[in-house]
């Protein structure tokens, strides 16, 4: 890691953390982002410097708050929350697109508990809240429309009032209203969430408008550039303790030869904001951002980035997520103390309903391993985007198998015999931008059931290892492009997860480690 005193490294929240929203209370910053079909919903993070974020909980962490129908599609569910602090309480508003409703929850402690939701049956997505000097609460949505509401009951008192819809780009969305001096600023994203993404601004003397567009719109976009960070948009502004302003936003980091692929989903970035003639101005978003010494975030000392869970705590840590639901009958930390026991609820990762507990892949180069005792069951470790895009290493009986599912295709890539008992299963990813276009590892070439070479120059190689009987073997190396957003589509990114698809299995530990790489 370079010495960047007075600077910081982006993304500040790597891995699939899109649609970020931020607020400050005193010296503390809180950030939320989208969770889609995963539960618990809406991860919430705390920071003192806008750079180092620690997850303190999930806003929607119990079934009564979050209804996700069993047939919720991948990338549906919870979209684009906004967090604000008003009148001594935190407020989060978001949309559950799977039931077509916005919802508002509140808390006095952002770590929770959060209230039961108040629902609003209004169109569009990306709701945001702002309070004016009269105490009126304004809900804004994509479109861009405003409603005056009673946030305690969800009653609409007035609206929709059309506001300002950007400069003509598609999908005007992610609106946020801010009072700055005598003006109300309306921040809007447009151009769609992919490479056309852009951020524009307008202002008015009242939330009702009329809005006057800024002179430099869009004031942030990376469209039609070859910058390493792309798709910059869906932004939120925050004023720091020292009076300076910052903007958080989503972006993607694509890898590989043309066309590039992104595998970590949309991530959260940070840029300093300066005001010029009453309008916010930002520089392009860099992975390494220098800021004048003393004027803002400083680089946090980097220890090796490791997250290990020995499952010794009475509760699951907040970063563990599961697609569509995690019924109490499907998992336990007490069946076998010190182990996470999973019970099969479905027989295949190819369909919704399988028992899976995972975390976001946050680095292009990483290793994740588990010690699993599958007993008489079938259990493993998967790298997934959704039910139709995942690579798995699993054990059942004396056989460890590597399986891939991509679109309509399913393939067993390797099978390997082990003695009965717990095994260590590992997945590792490494970027391959600099290697020649075709690489076939000796292990992969000799692996039974692995008939094809891999072509890893696209973005990364995902490799699968088993350690048992005192030996560690790489069973397969698979092309990571098939687990990218460009192939799978959707709004999420990769998740690495423990699963069981037959009987029960216990996991003693899970360790995730960022491996050294240019962007670690």
**Which residue in the set 7, 10, 19, 340 belongs to the binding site for ligand 6LW (CB under 6 A)?**
19
Among candidate residues 173, 373, 387, 465, the one labeled active-site is 173
Residue number, 16 or 138, with CB nearest to ligand 6LW: 16
Q: Which of 10, 21, 34, 429 binds ligand 6LW (CB under 6 A)?
A: 34
Of 477, 344, 512, the closest CA to residue 404 belongs to 477
Is 363:354 a contact under the CB 8 Å cutoff?
no
- Binding ligand 6LW (rule: CB under 6 A), the pick from 17, 148, 234, 363 is 234
Omega within 30 of 0 (cis) for the link into 318: no
Residue 21 in contact with ligand 6LW, rule: CB under 6 A: no
Q: Counting contacts by CB under 6 A, is residue 491 touching ligand 6LW?
A: yes
Other Cβ atoms closer than 10 A to 420: 13
Minimum CB–partner distance for residue 313 and ligand 6LW (Å)? 31
Q: Does 176 bind ligand 6LW (CB under 6 A)?
A: no
Whether residue 113 is preceded by a cis peptide bond, meaning omega within 30 degrees of 0, is: yes
Q: Does 18 bind ligand 6LW (CB under 6 A)?
A: yes
* Per-residue H/E/C for 106-139: EECCCCCCCCCCEEECCCCCCCEEEECCCCCEEE
Residue showing the smallest CB distance to ligand 6LW in the complex: 193
From the CB of 188, what's the least distance to ligand 6LW, in Å?
Answer: 10
DSSP label at residue 261: B
Residue 191 or 272 with smaller CB distance to ligand 6LW = 191
Closer CB to ligand 6LW, 68 or 427, in the complex: 68
19 is annotated as an active-site residue: yes
Q: Least CB distance from residue 303 to ligand 6LW, whole Å?
A: 31
Please pick, from the candidates 51, 68, 80, 163, the single residue that binds ligand 6LW as defined by CB under 6 A: 80
Among the listed residues 126, 145, 387, 394, the single contact to ligand 6LW using CB under 6 A: 126
Which of 296/493 has CB closer to ligand 6LW?
A: 493
In the bound state with ligand 6LW, the residue whose beta carbon lies nearer, of 105 and 418, is 105
Residue 134 C-beta: closest distance to ligand 6LW, Å: 29
The site that binds ligand 6LW (CB under 6 A) totals a number of residues, namely 14
Give CA–CA dist 131/44, Å, rounded. Answer: 22
Q: How far apart are CA 497 and CA 370, in angstroms?
A: 10
User: Which H or E element spans position 443?
Assistant: helix 442-446
**Does residue 190 bind ligand 6LW (CB under 6 A)?**
no
C-beta of 240 vs 321, nearer to ligand 6LW: 321
Q: Is 79 among the residues that bind ligand 6LW (CB under 6 A)?
A: yes
- Where is 487: in which H helix or E strand? helix 485-488
Selection from 87, 157, 509 nearest residue 333 by Cα: 509
Nearer to ligand 6LW, 173 or 479 (CB): 173
DSSP structure class, residue 371 = E
* Closest CB 144 distance from ligand 6LW, rounded Å: 11
User: Which DSSP string corresponds to 156-224?
Assistant: EEEEEEE---TTS-S--EEEEEEEETTEEEEEEEES-SSTT-EEEEEEESSTT---EE-TTSSSEE-TT
Binding mask 427-466 for ligand 6LW (x = CB under 6 A): ----------------------------------------
Min separation Cβ 126 and ligand 6LW, Å:
5
Angstrom distance (rounded) from CA 354 to CA 518: 36
CA-atom Rg of the chain in angstroms: 23
CA angle 323/328/330 to nearest 5° reads: 60
Between 13 and 506, CB nearer to ligand 6LW? 13
Active site residue 173: yes
Tokens, residue 216: 């430099």
**Three-class DSSP labels, 419-438:** CCCCEEEEEEEEECCCCCCC
| 173 belongs to the binding site for ligand 6LW (CB under 6 A) | yes
Residue ranges binding ligand 6LW (CB under 6 A): 18-19, 34, 79-80, 125-126, 173-174, 193, 233-234, 250, 491
Among all residues, which ones are annotated catalytic?
Answer: 19, 173
């Amino acid at each position: 890691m370079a010495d960047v005193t007075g600077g910081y490294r982006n993304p500040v929240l790597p891995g699939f953390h899109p649609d970020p929203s931020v607020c400050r209370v005193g010296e503390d910053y809180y950030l939320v982002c989208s969770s889609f079909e995963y539960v618990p919903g809406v991860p919430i993070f705390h920071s003192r410097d806008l750079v180092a974020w620690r997850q303190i909980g999930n806003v929607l962490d119990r079934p009564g708050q979050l209804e996700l129908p069993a047939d919720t599609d991948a990338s549906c569910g919870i979209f684009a929350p906004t967090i604000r602090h008003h009148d001594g309480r935190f407020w989060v508003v978001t949309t559950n697109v799977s039931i077509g409703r916005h919802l508002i929850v509140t808390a006095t402690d952002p770590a929770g508990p959060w209230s039961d939701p108040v629902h609003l049956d209004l169109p569009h997505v990306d709701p945001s809240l702002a309070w004016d000097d009269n105490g009126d609460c304004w809900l804004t949505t994509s479109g861009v429309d405003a409603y005056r509401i009673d946030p305690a009951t969800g009653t609409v008192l007035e609206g929709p009032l059309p506001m300002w819809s950007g400069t003509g780009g598609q999908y005007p969305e992610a609106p946020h209203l801010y009072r700055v001096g005598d003006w109300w600023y309306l921040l809007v994203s447009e151009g769609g969430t992919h490479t056309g993404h852009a951020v524009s601004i307008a202002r008015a003397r009242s939330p009702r408008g009329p809005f006057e567009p800024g002179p430099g719109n869009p004031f942030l976009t990376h469209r039609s550039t070859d910058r390493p960070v792309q798709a910059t948009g869906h932004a939120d502004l925050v004023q720091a303790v020292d009076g300076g302003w910052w903007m958080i936003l989503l972006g993607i980091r694509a890898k590989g030869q043309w066309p590039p692929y992104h595998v970590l989903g949309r991530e959260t970035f940070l840029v300093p904001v300066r005001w010029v003639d009453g309008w916010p101005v930002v520089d392009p978003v860099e992975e390494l951002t220098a800021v004048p010494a003393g004027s803002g975030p400083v680089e946090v000392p980097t220890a090796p980035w490791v997250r290990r869970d020995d499952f010794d705590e009475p509760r699951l840590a907040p970063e563990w997520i599961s697609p569509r639901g995690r019924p109490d009958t499907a998992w336990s930390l007490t069946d076998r103390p010190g182990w996470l026991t999973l019970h099969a609820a479905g027989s295949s990762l190819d369909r919704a309903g399988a028992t899976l507990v995972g975390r976001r892949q946050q680095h292009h180069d990483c290793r994740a391993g588990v010690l699993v005792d599958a007993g008489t069951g079938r259990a493993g470790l998967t790298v997934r985007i959704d039910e139709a895009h995942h690579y798995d290493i699993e054990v059942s009986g004396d056989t460890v198998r590597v399986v891939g599912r991509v679109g309509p295709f399913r393939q067993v890539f390797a099978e390997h015999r082990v003695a009965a008992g717990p095994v260590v299963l590992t997945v590792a990813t490494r970027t391959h931008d600099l290697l020649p276009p075709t690489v076939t590892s000796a292990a992969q070439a000799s692996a039974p059931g692995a008939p094809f070479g891999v072509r890893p120059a696209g973005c990364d190689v995902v490799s699968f290892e088993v350690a048992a009987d005192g030996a560690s073997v790489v069973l397969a190396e698979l092309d990571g492009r098939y687990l990218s957003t460009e192939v799978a589509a959707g709004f999420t990114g990769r998740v690495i997860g423990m699963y069981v698809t037959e009987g029960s299995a216990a996991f003693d530990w899970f360790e995730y480690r960022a491996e050294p790489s240019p962007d670690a």
